[in-house]
Amino acid sequence: MKCRMCGFEFDESQLENRGCSSCGKHGCNSIHCPNCGFANSPELDQEFEFIKKLKDKLKKKSSTN
């Protein structure tokens, strides 16, 4: 995973204190960056990837017209 705040790349499966144990929230499913502590959300990453693919499709479609 790449932290959206600082850009640090890390393997979230190797973290001891993954998610809520780092932030105190319950049920947030965030993965905290071991470098800066930013709460990265895996669900949000999936949404960003979908939006990126959609934007790329729209660009290709508009460039062919």
Give how far the C-alpha of residue 49 lies from the chain's centroid of Cα atoms, to the nearest Å.
Answer: 9
Q: What is the pLDDT of residues 43-59, one digit of tens each?
A: 777 777 888 888 899 98
Question: What is the C-alpha to C-alpha distance for residues 52 and 46, in angstroms, rounded to an integer?
Answer: 10
Predicted confidence (pLDDT) per residue in 7-26, tens digit: 999 998 888 765 555 556 66
pTM for the full model? 0.57
Quick check: 24 and 32 in contact, CB under 8 A? no
Only one residue has tokens 């930013």, namely: 38
Domain positions in the chain are 12-64
Three-state DSSP class for 2?
strand
Burial of 31 (C-beta count, 10 Å sphere; 0-12/13-18/19+): buried
